[in-house]
Structure 1
Amino acid sequence: MGRGLPSDLRLAPGQKADVRRVLRLFRDYRPTLALVGLLIGLGAGAGVVSPFLIREIVDVALPQQRLDLLGACVAGLVGVTVVGAALGVLQAMLSTRVGQAVMHDLRVAVYGHLQQMGLGFFTRTRTGEVQSRIFSDIGSMQAVVTTVMTQIVSSVAGIVVAVLAMIAMDWRLTLFSLITLPIAVWMNRRVGRRRRAVVARRQAKAADLSAGIQESLSVSGVLLATTMGRTTALTDRFAGDSRDLADLEIESEMAGRWHQGLYGVLLAIIPALTYLLGGMLLFGGDARVSIGTLVAFVALQSSLFPQMNGLLRVATQVNASLALFTRVFEYLDAPITISDAPDAIALDPRQVRGELRMQDVTFTYPGAEAPSLRGINLTVEPGTHTALVGATGSGKTSTGYLMVRLYDPSSGRITLDGHDLREVTMESLAAAIGVVTQETYLLHASIAENLRFAAPEASDEDLVAACRIAQIHEHIAALPDGYATVVGERGYRFSGGEKQRLALARTILRDPPVLLLDEATSALDTATERAMSGALDALSRGRTTISIAHRLSTVRHADQIIVLEHGRILERGTYEELLAAGGVFAGLAAADARGEGTATGAHPQG
């Protein structure tokens, strides 16, 4: 199976995540970050007070047996520790709040952006991949945003303050202490590049695993695997992918560990060598070096070196995490193909008459070579019923997609009451045109919640009235929990016909002036379909209706029937006119009468 975004949605090289772009995520929280920085600075300053107090104890208080000075220095050591701990807790609280706020902003930004991506994006991208980037990638970034950035600032502040204090004590010992810095910089760059590559591979494999779980453990996936006898094979494939992910996790964790271990040994040797160098200076009669200075200097090293080592690890982690940011920014930077124009107008559904026109419309699906529709000219008069019929792949569903602006035409224009759909807000267009599709989608919630998804303010009486029209109320009333019954994932506790009737009731609640029925009765048995025909006629009265027909008998009373073939309109007229013409429609009607109606079935691009 494919991996990641389609090639036409990937970032250009210049758009890859870098530290500056990551830092821009914190732009709205600069006051709080300034306070965090102040607390970090105070904590770093408090941390270097202790070595000076230790030097005072060793060089003055103990040799001169000054109990007052010793007591003051000890009290200072205790006070510095307490203040440092309090500052650390407060700083951690503020930085965690900022980090969580940034994560919230990022999740909402990605989710909101994906909501606007349009149908084409999701037909080319696996659901598991989307979920992996929102939860796994952003979740993995959380540690970087909430703690690592603060650790970097804290470590840098601690290192700067410690180095300044060391220089104040003895600049020669300071230079000797920093001899490992070039080695650290070289190692960090080398390890960072390696870990970044490993993390990118790890997250891609995690996305594959997430997509596989989502596909195979859904209701449809379990049914497919069971009926095809593929449960063992799927388990084996999952085990292999999981093993690969575990290996990548180990590789990610171990990347650069030998380098860091060797550097840690080197840092541990430096204090011992500092005693040797300081002793040589002391034995040589250098007045600038005392026993207290030497002890305090090594104490500063014990604070400096762990921060340097920690900064190396954190910098490596940040470098590696840029692969996560890049994956998330790919979604944020993916172009939105269907969006409101800057000057888009909002239609009032109560004022919409329902006149739809397609003027010389040609449409090609993204990535496809041949057009699905060619030069379509069609007028749907207000309050009339127009039916679209044709064999699989003829362009019926594509026409419906364009009418509700799931896609924009490649050329030509589509208007509603004279307004180009590209000049109308998406929200008002959705309120004006109600859609019931063959692929009914129900939420894993109660029947009432599913119905109120279309009209949150609907009363219980409104729900019952809509369900009566859709011929589903009696069935719901017979259930033990009635309208509180949970429909199950994707509505699998209900039959196909029951799901379609619920979807129809959901659309009825919105009372749109235009109704698009895309194979809306295809899952109904003949008796139920006949029972619903009167209800649909009553529902359609006074509003514009476009129906994509599976059974030609359902469009017998349509005001006009449009016959499509290979993306073109071949015939148009009433049911009787087209039968009398003896053309393509007459052949479809004959096949439908013989029970071969599947010839007109819907197609994802039909």
Structure 2
Amino acid sequence: MSMGGGHRGSRVSGGDAEAQRAENAAAPRIPNLLPRIAQLFRPHRARLALTIALVLVSAGLSVLPPLLTQQAFDRGLFPPEGGPNIPVLIQLVSLMLLLWMLSAGLGIAQTFLTATVGNAVMAQLRVRLFAHLQSMELGFFTRTKTGAIQSRLQNDVGGVAGVLNNTVSSVIGNTVTVIAAFIAMLILSWQLTVVAVILLPLLVIAQRRVGQVRARIAGKTQESLSDMSAITQESLSVSGILLAKSFFGHEGEVERYRSENEVQRRLQVQLQMSGQWFFAIVNVFLSVIPAVIYLVAAFLIEADVAVTAGTIVAFTTVQARLTFPLLGLMRVTLDLQTSAALFARIFEYLDLRPTITEAPDARDVEPSRVGSVAFRDVVFRYPDAGDDTSPTLDGVSFSIEPGQFVAFVGPSGAGKTTISYLVPRLHEASSGVVEFAGVDVRELRQESLIGSVGIVSQETYLFHASIAENLRYAKPDASDEELEAACRAANIHETIDTFPDGYATVVGERGYRLSGGEKQRVAIARVLLKDPPVLILDEATSALDSVSERVVQRALDSATRGRTTIAIAHRLSTISAADVIHVVDGGRIVESGAHAELVALGGVYARLVEQQSADYDRTGQLRAASSSDM
């Protein structure tokens, strides 16, 4: 059985994508978002404190050169007593040069500290999110597009990294600079200060509105990136390429990607253009202020207010120290509003709670009872299935003794695979009890439970790595001798030995460089290396040709020897020697017994045997006819 009602295909239409975006947009806001973001930086308090100290010193120093400029004009270039005072001017210029060099050094130190802290926080957050996703139940991944998950890990976390790297220095440094500049301006001339800052509150109000617009666009942009990641992951995988080439569907795939890419292009343009008019007006305003100050200074001089040339030059320089850092603060605030939307998406995943969790008092599997499995009136319904739909399993009960070979057969979609997933608790029973080694699986430590079960499924998954690395996934410290012993038992060692690189042979994505039978036997060897007392075979040979099936079946016979074996079978010939065969239909066990007993019963199992025998006869006749025509 496939994943059934719990699996939603990852290939979605445009309407589905719009629905997904609407669902994300309607998601509740993350409570206490700012305190939670601040919590991420707590382990780096010492470095942050040092960074803040450097920023404060650097910001304070940045205001001193303009004040020295006033002294250079009034005491060095145009002193009251006559011509330029060269010694005083040399002292002031030297002091300004020293301050600039010191500020540059402090800037390098700030950059290093903020980059170190920002990237450390992002790296920890990315690992934390990855680890949390690893703890989610299997059903979460059957309901969620892989591309969407990848986008949260890469695009969302990466999107906030650049902002946070400069946030501390930008916010604190610019704030201190603005305050210091404002005080210096008051010292130089309170009248000119009023002229310089009178319109700034209006700019702050406008900036908040622009920030809200940018945050909304940023959220839509990340959703579009999720869709593009999903399309890329689906279409450029080996399976996706094979499908597209088999149906000549590459033009449709390109069009699907082009359509989503156009959405992304429009959103990126909107994101970059949002606020540009605002900042253009702000720049004009800030550029005009010095000219206005010159005009106002002229009126003040005519009114006999003491305003020197040095005061005017110093004031316009300090005014730039106020307005441009203030503009920087506005930009950082906009970036923070944008990154807050990305943080909300990250915390949305971190706030997901696995439906399958380990009890605080969970215990290990009892070795003396390991191998026994029992279902007590088990009902299972997929979490996203409606209440009006029939459960996938409905009142299933059976017992398996240690060392028994028990098979489950039945029509496609009957619930066979779901039974196999409930044993190692990959799914959680909706009601009833699943027992392993005489204990409810909910009372067992998941590591101990999973460590006692080996699974060989129809879809063998191998990493893009060497054969040895794929095998050691089951036992990282396995020796070369242990690998060879497992592969001999799985009837694959001789084949590996013929490869030029032997066990160092890279199998390619999902093992596509190996044949189906070779992949399956490597998977069996991997399970043998794990050496579990309970083995689950989920239609392990149904996708193979008859020759490969016989080879793999011999490997399975070796793997099942001395273990409790639960076989989900489509080809009944592979389980005819089972101790007990349970026939599953419509989520219920409708027949149980040995092969001969069930055939004699003349029920569902007998009809399945008869149907497969007829199919085999027709296949044999077709093959004979084909051979005679050659």
Using the size of structure 2 for normalisation, the TM-score is 0.90
Is 1:402–2:419 an aligned residue pair?
no
Shift of 1:9: 9.1
- State how far apart, in whole Å, the 1-side matches of 2:147 and 2:115 are: 29
Task: Give the letter aligned to residue 330 of structure 1.
Answer: E
How many Å separate the matches in 1 of 2:96 and 2:157?
41
1:235 alignment counterpart: 254
- 8 A Cα contact 2:234 2:240, kept in partner: yes
Give the structure 1 partner of residue 376 of structure 2: 359
Tell me the alpha carbon deviations over residues 298-334 of structure 1, each in whole angstroms, 9 at most, x when there is no partner.
1101222111112112211221222222222221112
For 1:407, the aligned partner's letter is: H
Which stretch shows the higher mean deviation, 571-580 or 523-532?
Answer: 523-532
Q: Which one of the candidate residues 31, 54, 61 is aligned to 2:69?
A: 54
Q: 1:252 to 1:280 in 2, by over 3 A?
A: same
1:7 shift after superposition: 9.2
Change (3 A) 1:73 1:435: same
Counterpart in the other structure of 1:330: 348
CA distance in 1, matches of 2:322, 2:266: 35
Q: Is 1:417 aligned to 2:437, yes or no?
A: yes
What amino acid is the match of 1:362?
A: V
State the shift of 1:144 in Å.
1.0
> What is the one-letter code of the residue matched to 1:72?
Q
What secondary structure sits across from 1:570 in the alignment? Answer: strand
Distance change (3 Å), C-alpha of 1:87 and 1:499: same
CA-to-partner distance for each residue in 1:421-470, whole Å, 9 max, x for gaps?
A: 11222221111111111111110111111111111111111111111221
The farther-off stretch of 65-74 and 455-464 is 65-74
1:127-146 paired onto structure 2 within 5 Å:
127-146=146-165
Partner of 1:307: 325
Partners of 2:605 and 2:593 in 1: CA distance? 10
Q: Which moved more, 1:162-171 or 1:202-211?
A: 162-171
The amino acid that maps onto 1:176 is V
The reply to whether residue 503 of structure 1 matches residue 523 of structure 2 is: yes
**Greater alpha carbon shift after TM alignment, 386-395 vs 143-152:** 143-152
Q: How far is 1:24 from its partner?
A: 2.5
Change in Cα spacing, 1:421 to 1:184, as seen in structure 2 (3 Å) is: same
Q: Partner letter of residue 558 of structure 1?
A: A
Query: Is 2:476 the partner of 1:456?
Result: yes
Q: Is the contact made by 1:385 and 1:544 (CA closer than 8 Å) also made in structure 2?
A: yes
Instruction: State the shift of 1:174 in Å.
Output: 2.1
In the alignment, structure 1 residue 437 sits paired with structure 2 residue 457? yes
Task: Check conservation: 1:17, 1:322, Cα contact below 8 A.
Answer: no
Per the alignment, residue 342 of structure 1 pairs with 360
CA contact under 8 A between 1:117 and 1:336: conserved in structure 2? yes
Partner of 1:88: 107
Measured after TM superposition, the shift of residue 524 of structure 1 is 3.4
Please state how far the C-alpha of 1:278 moved relative to its aligned partner.
2.5
> Which residue matches 1:72?
91
Give the deviation of 1:531 after TM superposition: 4.3
Match status 1:295 vs 2:313: yes
Q: What is the aligned partner in structure 1 of residue 488 from structure 2? A: 468
Query: Which whole-Å CA distance do the structure 2 matches of 1:253 and 1:134 have between them?
Result: 23
Instruction: Extract unaligned runs of 5+ from structure 1.
Output: 598-606
CA distance in 1, matches of 2:384, 2:328: 48
State whether structure 2 residue 190 is matched by structure 1 residue 171: yes
Distance between the aligned counterparts of 1:123 and 1:573, measured in 2? 34
TM-score scaled by length of structure 1: 0.94
Question: Tell me, what secondary structure is at the counterpart of 2:198?
Answer: helix
Deviation track 1:267-310 (CA, whole Å, cap 9, x = no partner) reads 111111112223322332224x3332222111101222111112
Match of 2:28, as an amino acid? Answer: P
Cα contact 1:102–1:145 (8 A) shared by 2: no
The corresponding residue for 1:602 is none
Give the CA deviation at 1:97: 0.1
SS at match of 1:353: coil
CA contact (8 A) 1:16 1:326 kept: no
- Match for 2:365: what amino acid? L
Deviation at 1:116, TM superposition (A): 1.0
CA distance in 2, matches of 1:567, 1:10: 37
Q: Does 1:275 align with 2:294?
A: yes
Distance 1:12 1:202 in 2: 16
2:270 is aligned to: 251
Shift of 1:488: 0.9
Is 534-543 or 506-515 further displaced after alignment?
534-543
RMSD across aligned positions (CA): 2.1
518, 535, 541: which one aligns with 1:521: 541
| 8 Å contact kept, 1:462–1:509 | yes
The superposition leaves residues 410-430 of structure 1 with CA deviations (integer Å, 9 ceiling, x where unpaired) of 011111112221122222111
- Give the match's secondary structure for 1:542: coil
Provide the secondary structure at the position in 2 that maps to 1:286.
coil
The superposition leaves residues 150-203 of structure 1 with CA deviations (integer Å, 9 ceiling, x where unpaired) of 312221121122112222323332232211221211111111111112112222
> 1:575 & 1:364 partners in 2: Cα distance?
30
Q: Which amino acid aligns with 1:322?
A: A
Residues 23-69 of structure 1 deviation map (CA, whole Å, 9 limit, x = unaligned): 22212212111111110000011011112211222222331444443
Aligned counterpart, 1:377: 397
SS at match of 1:13: coil
Change (3 A) 1:313 1:225: same
Whether 1:34 aligns to 2:72 is no
Kindly indicate whether the alpha-carbon contact (under 8 Å) linking 1:17 and 1:326 is maintained by their aligned counterparts in 2. Answer: no
Instruction: Give distance in 1, aligned partners of 2:137 and 2:238.
Output: 25
Q: Distance in 2 between matches of 1:182 and 1:270?
A: 15
* 2:497 counterpart (477, 481, 488): 477
CA distance in 2, matches of 1:541, 1:454: 19
Q: In the aligned structure 2, how far is the partner of 1:9 from the partner of 1:74?
A: 58
Instruction: Count residues with an aligned counterpart.
Output: 595
Contact 1:402/1:409 (<8 A) preserved? yes
Return the alpha-carbon distance in structure 2 between the equivalents of residues 148 and 565 of structure 1: 61
Alpha carbons 2:524, 2:556 under 8 Å: kept: no
Q: Deviations over 1:240-292 (max 9, x none)?
A: 322221222111101110111011101111111112223322332224x3332
Q: In 2, distance between residues paired with 1:267 and 1:84?
A: 24
Partners of 2:22 and 2:436 in 1: CA distance: 34
- Which segment is superposed worse, 291-300 or 19-28? 19-28
Pair 1:36–1:458, CA change in 2 (3 A)? same
1:593–1:8 CA distance, 2 compared to 1 (3 A)? farther
C-alpha contact (below 8 Å) 1:352/1:432 kept by paired residues: no
What corresponds to 2:133 in structure 1? 114
Structure 2: which amino acid aligns with 1:392?
S
The answer to which of 478-487 and 234-243 deviates more is 234-243
| CA-to-aligned-CA distance 1:201-222 (integer Å, 9 cap, x gap) | 2221122111111111111111
How many angstroms does 1:346 deviate by? 3.0
Using a 3 Å threshold, how does the CA distance of structure 1 residues 17 and 132 change in structure 2: closer, same or farther? farther
Q: Answer yes or no: is the 8 Å Cα contact 1:191–1:316 preserved in 2.
A: yes
Shift of 1:140: 1.6
